[in-house]
């Protein structure tokens, strides 16, 4: 059978895979979220982009998507897989612990945004029912965009996830309520009760059945040692759970989330997560492409002042309501600011609610079309809102870009500065603390700083790459500076700046490998510790000891080998001197 190379399906598949192959590495190289790349790609290859020129240049058929609706089912499957993977990170214990955030803050955020947006729309001429429908639709936030950006852990991720989870649970009641309010509604309210009853029974059946069947299913799949069978079992569970909740009247994402939580309680969570991850990323990229393709550039150009006002109005109202509620709930200003901006844009589910309200004759078709464009634009700017939120959070939490929270230790000459406070930085701090040596950790990630402070570390916010930060930290008077950042290029750059500004300063750095260590020595560090060599030496020591050799000779041989390797690294760096521009100071432990 000949391959139908001129079919729409073939060209669409080629465009999607090509976009994934180009967008992800290109935007990762510039450290830009691939979310923006997929949306822009959708705009370019969609019907209102290059797709509009197919009649003039037929060859564009192979690099554009002719029918945006044809790939929508796959895009929806991407959202289902996203919720499934989120469920894998959860547990029933964590969900129970989140109940106040979900049904307290989540309910207040949705109701508050819907009410204020409805009042605003009513004030500009919308009828009460239309304002209610539009307010409920625009109050929703994008699970598919927010969670990949914020995650489900950390100060921002936990709060955003709690609110999004309530919105997902409330979606079906909102749809039925709007249908019941329409002029042609029949037994709308009784349908809500019936759906909730059937949905509750379905969730209970999935819960009971999943607890007993899933461990046995995945155990059997694991025994075969066949990755394809494991993948098939994982996708089967997701699809069956989504179909079951859809048949009962609930959203398919409820079933996907529940399936993920049930599997998270088994021993196969990690394997399932790794198995579906490639499919989830590609399917979610499809969803983002459809967001870009939904933008009609001609309509945007014709009505941009109104569209801009609509987007700004929705973002402003939702930011104000969400931020105020979080502050009332005791959340810090920085976290509240970032979370509020992240949740400010409309959602992909907004389009569903708008369609329902239009079908129920609550909203005129022309108004629905306008707000669909606003929603598409809002989804497009969500990554930009997230970036603005992170920037504002830094400004709010630090007071100024170069301010670092000070520790009780005011004697700068007695402390060690640890630049970068991730896994390596924390371990260095623990060892310094064990010997009574004061330190100050500095990190450019506010979440890392907040988490470390909560665990009792002496750490503050600061971006060492910013001009003036080295002087602000008073590095010249520090006992030593330890560079532990997980960025090889930045490590070399900062080491060179430190050596130029403070020739006598002791600078120790983490290195990826011997080649990177040689670069650091050339930049002027006192010591560079390659991770790969140290782990190999530790493994060699463990092997020799387990084979019965005496500890003393083993340690001596490891030290000799380390000295040989350091000499080779110095040769690689072309140094004709011992890289030790240090002034040792006696250490008083205690």
What's residue 415's pLDDT?
A: 81
Domain check: are 148 and 205 in the same one? yes
pLDDT in tens, 310-334: 999 999 999 999 999 999 988 888 8
Per-residue confidence (pLDDT) for residue 505, from 0 to 100: 87
Q: How many residues does the chain have?
A: 590
Compute the distance between CA of residue 196 and CA of residue 249 in angstroms, rounded to an integer: 8
Q: What is the pTM of this model?
A: 0.59
Q: What is the mean pLDDT of the chain?
A: 79
Tokens representing 242? 């989504």
Do 352 and 439 sit in the same domain of this protein? no
Indicate the number of domains in the chain.
Answer: 2
439 and 307 belong to one structural domain: no
Is residue 142 within 8 A of residue 347, CB to CB? The reply is yes
Asked if 387 and 430 sit in the same domain, the reply is no
Say whether both 242 and 173 belong to one domain. yes
The domain that holds 143 is classified in CATH as 1.20.1530.20
Judgement on whether residues 466 and 551 belong to the same structural domain of the protein: yes
Instruction: Return d(Cα 178, Cα 136) in angstroms, integer.
Output: 9
Q: What mean pLDDT comes out for the span 542-559? A: 85
Token pair belonging to 458: 């002496």
**pLDDT higher for 348 or 66?**
348
Q: For position 6, what pLDDT does the model report?
A: 62
User: In whole angstroms, what is the distance from residue 477 CA to residue 416 CA?
Assistant: 10
The H or E element that residue 483 is part of is strand 480-483
- Between CA 55 and CA 374 the distance in angstroms is 29
Same domain, 359 and 447: no
- Expressed as residue numbers, the domain containing 513 is 412-572
CA distance linking residue 453 with residue 457, whole number of Å: 5
Strand, coil or helix: what is 442? Answer: strand
**Mean pLDDT (whole number) for 340-360:** 84
Give the CA diameter of the chain.
89
Decide if 25 is inside a domain.
Answer: no
> Are residues 536 and 513 part of one domain?
yes
Q: Is residue 489 part of a domain?
A: yes
Are 342 and 442 part of one and the same domain?
no
List, in sequence order, every residue forming a beta bridge with 507; answer none if it has no partner: 481
């Amino acid at each position: 059978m000949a391959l139908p190379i001129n079919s729409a399906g073939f060209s669409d598949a080629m465009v999607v895979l090509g976009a994934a192959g180009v967008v992800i590495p290109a935007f990762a190289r510039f450290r830009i979220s691939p979310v923006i790349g997929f949306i822009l790609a959708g705009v370019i290859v969609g019907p209102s982009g290059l797709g509009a020129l197919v009649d003039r240049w037929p060859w564009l058929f192979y690099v554009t998507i002719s029918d945006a609706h044809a790939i929508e089912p796959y895009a929806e499957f991407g959202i289902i897989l996203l919720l499934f993977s989120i469920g894998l990170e959860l547990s029933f214990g964590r969900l129970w612990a989140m109940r106040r955030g979900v049904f307290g803050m989540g309910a207040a955020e949705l109701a508050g945004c819907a009410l204020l947006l409805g009042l605003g729309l009513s004030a500009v001429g919308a009828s009460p029912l239309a304002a209610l429908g539009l307010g409920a639709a625009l109050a929703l936030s994008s699970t598919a965009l927010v969670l990949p950006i914020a995650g489900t852990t950390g100060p921002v991720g936990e709060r955003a996830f709690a609110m999004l989870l309530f919105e997902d649970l409330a979606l079906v009641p909102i749809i039925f309520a709007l249908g019941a309010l329409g002029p042609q509604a029949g037994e709308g309210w009784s349908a809500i009760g019936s759906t909730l009853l059937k949905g509750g029974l379905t969730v209970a059946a999935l819960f009971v059945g999943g607890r007993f069947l899933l461990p046995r299913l995945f155990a059997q799949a694991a025994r075969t040692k066949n990755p394809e069978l494991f993948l098939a079992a994982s996708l089967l569970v997701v699809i069956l759970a989504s179909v079951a909740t859809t048949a009962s009247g609930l959203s398919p994402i409820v079933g996907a989330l529940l399936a993920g939580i049930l599997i998270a309680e088994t021993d196969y969570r990690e394997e399932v997560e790794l198995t579906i991850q490639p499919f989830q990323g590609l399917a979610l990229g499809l969803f983002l492409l459809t967001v870009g393709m939904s933008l009609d550039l001609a309509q945007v150009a014709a009505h941009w002042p109104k569209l801009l006002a609509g987007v700004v109005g929705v973002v402003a109202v939702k930011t104000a309501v969400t931020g105020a509620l979080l502050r009332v709930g005791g959340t810090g200003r920085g976290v509240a600011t970032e979370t509020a901006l992240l949740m400010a844009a409309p959602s992909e589910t907004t389009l569903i609610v708008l369609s329902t309200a239009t079908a129920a004759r609550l909203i005129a078709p022309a108004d629905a079309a306008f707000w669909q464009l606003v929603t598409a634009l809002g989804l497009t700017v969500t990554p930009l809102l997230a970036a603005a939120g992170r920037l504002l959070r830094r400004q709010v939490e630090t007071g100024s870009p170069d301010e670092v929270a000070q520790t009780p230790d005011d004697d700068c000459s007695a402390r060690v500065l640890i630049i970068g406070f991730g896994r390596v930085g924390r371990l260095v701090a623990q060892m310094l603390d064990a010997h009574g040596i004061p330190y100050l950790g500095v990190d450019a990630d506010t979440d890392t700083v907040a988490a470390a402070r909560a665990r009792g570390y002496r750490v503050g916010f600061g971006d060492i790459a910013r001009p003036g930060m080295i002087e602000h930290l008073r590095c010249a008077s520090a006992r030593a500076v330890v560079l532990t950042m997980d960025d090889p290029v930045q490590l070399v750059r900062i080491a060179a700046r430190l050596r130029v500004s403070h020739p006598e300063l002791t600078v120790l750095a983490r290195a990826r490998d011997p080649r990177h260590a040689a670069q650091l020595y050339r930049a002027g560090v006192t010591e560079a510790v390659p991770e790969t060599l140290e782990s190999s030496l530790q493994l060699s020591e463990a092997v020799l000891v387990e084979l019965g050799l005496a500890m003393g000779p083993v340690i001596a041989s490891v030290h000799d080998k380390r000295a040989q390797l350091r000499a080779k690294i110095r040769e690689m760096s072309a140094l004709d001197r011992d890289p030790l521009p240090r002034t040792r100071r006696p250490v008083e432990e205690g």
